[in-house]
Structure 1
């Protein structure tokens, strides 16, 4: 009887989980599609790399505008309506970008990808947790796996389909089909799931560890530090993914296709890291990994900048994918919520907001520096390395 009770919910919500993973796969492609088709969009919008960076930064503005209230909407109006809004925003971005004839139009439509990101996160993660309460962590980690796999595939799609409008059209159609799947999917009740005995025991241990005033985490120190990591960790991998194709063409002299393939190295090792880190975190304290992972990423970033070569770029892409994008941001959030268990919702919002700033600040700063010269691209990567160093120091 017990086996039946656990199997039925899985079958009921299998289509929901599938639709969410497809949605995030398309969302992850949308996040890097401008950089992958950079030269094509420059011609379409009569702009240069400065303009491309400005358009990319608008995604961050859209996310910042919506991230603080998207979660409240999800709790108040339900997961399905909010997820539908997010997917419609993504479809608007993809179709709008396809028909944009100027940088201004593209920048306006880029706001919608930021909206999509916020509303999707606010609805999809809770929906998965409610549909699969016994396996919420593993189901949520598969979101990252879907995103990494999609970003691995995109450079190959770009190589086969050089016309950005065709790719955007295909992705928009997939989003619409996926939207129909979401509408038809059964969502779990939004009731609060009771804590399991293991979760209660964990909170008790954390409380006991924090009994001493000397060891008790303080929001002004530990809280601010960890929330800052939400920014620095995201900055490392987001800036890297947006500008590694430029590094390949301008610094290394690679062909356009070869430069974009560096993203595939990043994405496949990001995917591997999701599963490896899930195992490591059961054996090593998360805070140790939060310190160690960015440090390794920093070392290889500096090596790539100082000793640029195609092989070094491939290795660094793999390292950054594994150590900066494969789940360390989620580990930082786990540590933060463990430190402040009574303020989980509030600190999660702050942490996500800090990450959202990355999507604006990174491209915005880069837009003042980046050009087709090798020196300008190297400057952007030095900034990336510096912010990573700040994160390690914090």
Structure 2
């Protein structure tokens, strides 16, 4: 029987990860005063998350295949503890930036240790298992603003929100310390079984390139919307401040609804590959409508639709499919796929920031083109999937 302790601990880490991705932005005013800087200075510190991810993903993926998943899950948790301590103790943004890089390192280590573990634990339900990580991240993103809001209203120290996360991590370290991770021998047996299910081996120069493109494009599609939807609504659609900010709420609600529904459907009712292609197409339709008809109603519905179809777990499904194509070395596969996503989160703000200075409407056109390319790539992956796979690999129990 699979270890419930392990599964609970892995998902709880992603509750922490969801909090960690937004906690600096949520405490921006308090941190600005603490570091004697400006809003741009705090944003500089937040950008270090992407730097840490870019620096470490490939290396942590390669090493997790070599030394196992447990060390990297625990290393990621330890890096988060040091990150929070460093943020609270840093006297200025330069020290804080260095510690913030550790948040990206922690993110990378958790991803390259957790995704392969869940994919190996649930070879017949890997899509649902990985999409649930997104669900726990969304719970964290919903939970921490409430805690920070209560601290603000009560005029309490902002650092309690970070110490709360540290306590959760330490409890989870105790939970995972003795948990049973899949053995190397069982993982190798499963990987060989999965590879034997392919008619012909996947090709890195073709299939690998398709997945790298999909990792970049799937991240870019929803990241652009998350960054610019409020400004687009106010500038192009002429929406008021409150209504424009509400667009991002619709986007978040769509994302959460998608995670729940997708986790129920995937593998049981619909194959991950079908969801990947269908969701990518529907995201393209929604973004195209928001570009052609930028009215408050279209943007409200479109924001929900993009959250549902682009930000609700389809990227996780892309990684799951890539791991089926390249079952040997899932840690490195995770590192490669999410490095492409990290590049998107770094380059998209640069491009769209330049466009926003001249024509805000053109930003949505860029996302239409990105989503269209994403759909074409997903169709290409679907065609290759049908060519490669004759049958599904059998399930194996990896943990007693």
Query: Partner of 1:145 in structure 2?
Result: 135
In the alignment, the residues of structure 2 paired with residue 242 and residue 332 of structure 1 have an alpha-carbon distance, to the nearest angstrom, of: 22
Query: Could you state the TM-score of these two structures normalised by the residue count of structure 1?
Result: 0.75
1:272 aligns with 2:257: yes
1:299 aligns with 2:285: yes
1:390 pairs with 373, 395, 399, which one? 373
Shift of 1:146: 0.7
Distance change >3 Å, CA 327–CA 193, structure 1 → 2: farther
1:85 aligns with 2:75: yes
Query: Could you state the TM-score of these two structures normalised by the residue count of structure 2?
Result: 0.74
Q: Which has the higher contact order (CA 8 A, sep 6+)?
A: 2
In the alignment, the residues of structure 2 paired with residue 346 and residue 253 of structure 1 have an alpha-carbon distance, to the nearest angstrom, of: 45
Contact 1:29 1:154 in 2 (8 A): yes
304-313 vs 140-149, greater mean Cα deviation? 304-313
Post-superposition Cα deviations, 1:112-168, rounded to whole Å, max 9, x if no partner, equal 2211210111233355567778876544432211112333445556666668x9796
Query: Partner of 1:223 in structure 2?
Result: 208
Distance change >3 Å, CA 272–CA 358, structure 1 → 2: same
Post-superposition Cα deviations, 1:287-315, rounded to whole Å, max 9, x if no partner, equal 44333322211222232244334443332
In the alignment, the residues of structure 2 paired with residue 340 and residue 361 of structure 1 have an alpha-carbon distance, to the nearest angstrom, of: 27
Shift of 1:40: 7.4
Contact 1:234 1:355 in 2 (8 A): yes
Query: Partner of 1:213 in structure 2?
Result: none
- The secondary structure found in structure 2 opposite 1:24 is helix
In the alignment, the residues of structure 2 paired with residue 94 and residue 253 of structure 1 have an alpha-carbon distance, to the nearest angstrom, of: 37
In the alignment, the residues of structure 1 paired with residue 228 and residue 280 of structure 2 have an alpha-carbon distance, to the nearest angstrom, of: 19
1:178 aligns with 2:161: no
The RMSD of aligned alpha carbons is 4.0
97-106 vs 234-243, greater mean Cα deviation? 97-106
Shift of 1:187: 1.9
Contact 1:36 1:260 in 2 (8 A): no
Query: Partner of 1:237 in structure 2?
Result: 222
Query: Partner of 1:187 in structure 2?
Result: 179
Contact 1:56 1:107 in 2 (8 A): yes
In the alignment, the residues of structure 2 paired with residue 197 and residue 77 of structure 1 have an alpha-carbon distance, to the nearest angstrom, of: 17
1:359 aligns with 2:351: no
Contact 2:18 2:140 in 1 (8 A): yes
- The secondary structure found in structure 2 opposite 1:206 is coil
Contact 2:26 2:145 in 1 (8 A): yes
* Structure 2 stretches lacking a partner, 5+ long: 378-400
Contact 1:271 1:326 in 2 (8 A): yes
Query: Partner of 1:124 in structure 2?
Result: 114
1:30 aligns with 2:28: no
Contact 2:65 2:331 in 1 (8 A): no
* Structure 1 stretches lacking a partner, 5+ long: 1-5, 211-215
Contact 1:133 1:193 in 2 (8 A): no
Contact 1:148 1:271 in 2 (8 A): yes
Distance change >3 Å, CA 349–CA 85, structure 1 → 2: closer
2:198 pairs with 206, 216, 219, which one? 206
- The secondary structure found in structure 2 opposite 1:194 is helix
Distance change >3 Å, CA 203–CA 219, structure 1 → 2: closer
In the alignment, the residues of structure 2 paired with residue 204 and residue 225 of structure 1 have an alpha-carbon distance, to the nearest angstrom, of: 22
Contact 2:255 2:304 in 1 (8 A): yes
Post-superposition Cα deviations, 1:252-278, rounded to whole Å, max 9, x if no partner, equal 54446x655544433333233234334
Post-superposition Cα deviations, 1:232-267, rounded to whole Å, max 9, x if no partner, equal 1011122322343444555554446x6555444333
Shift of 1:390: 2.2
In the alignment, the residues of structure 2 paired with residue 68 and residue 306 of structure 1 have an alpha-carbon distance, to the nearest angstrom, of: 39
277-286 vs 345-354, greater mean Cα deviation? 277-286
Contact 1:131 1:188 in 2 (8 A): no
2:302 pairs with 303, 313, 316, which one? 316
Shift of 1:91: 4.0
- The secondary structure found in structure 1 opposite 2:77 is helix
